[in-house]
Amino acid sequence: MRSVKNIASELRPGVLDELGLVKTLKSEAREFEGHTGVQCRFETNTAKAKFDRSAAVAIFRIVQAALTNVARHAHASRARITLMRKKNGLILTVMDNGKGITSPSLPPAESEYESEPLLARSRPMEGCMTYGLR
């Protein structure tokens, strides 16, 4: 059985409170690389920005879910996370050099690509998702 601390950490990672979003994402990239062997880099132009707590959690969870998809499905050797502030908001990108989605029509949410959790987390921030198809 999972401990209360583990469940609480899954709901709201304490590291976000301690380090902030940018340092947490840097750490997540390093941990992902260590666990999977997939080279993972993080880039941002928001190093000094402050993020709303709910937005930080949502962005962190989106990155976690995207990296999980990379590890499970992409057969990649490299991944890159970027978080860039633009005039009208933020752009979060998770890219890899793996096999990609080959069809112009995305599979249903219950498919192997598991896109629904990513989309659901972006909605409260008025976010949207796009996929780069191969």
Relative to beta strand 89-96, strand 78-86 is antiparallel
- Could you give the dihedral angle defined by the CA atoms of residues 42, 44, 48 and 51, in that order, rounded to the nearest 10 degrees? -90
- Per the CB < 8 A criterion, the answer to whether 38 and 77 are in contact is yes
For residue 133, being part of any structural domain is answered with no
- Looking at residue 122, its pLDDT comes to 63
Domain count, the chain: 1
- In the three-class reduction of DSSP (H, G, I as helix; E, B as strand; rest coil), residue 108 is classed as coil
For residue 45, being part of any structural domain is answered with yes
State phi, psi for 95 to the nearest 5 degrees. -125, 155
Per-residue pLDDT of the chain (134 residues; tens, 9 = 90+): 455 444 444 555 788 888 999 999 999 999 999 999 999 999 999 988 888 888 899 899 999 989 998 998 899 999 999 999 988 888 899 999 998 766 554 555 444 445 556 666 666 666 666 666 55
For residue 7, being part of any structural domain is answered with no
For residue 4, being part of any structural domain is answered with no
CATH of the domain at 77: 3.30.565.10
Nearest alpha carbon to residue 90 among 134, 131, 45, 48 = 45
| Whole-number Å distance between alpha carbons of 88 and 108 | 30
- Per the CB < 8 A criterion, the answer to whether 130 and 120 are in contact is no
* Domain hosting residue 61, numbered range: 13-125
For residue 2, being part of any structural domain is answered with no
For residue 130, being part of any structural domain is answered with no
- Looking at residue 2, its pLDDT comes to 52
Helices 21-36 and 53-69, packing angle to 10 deg: 20
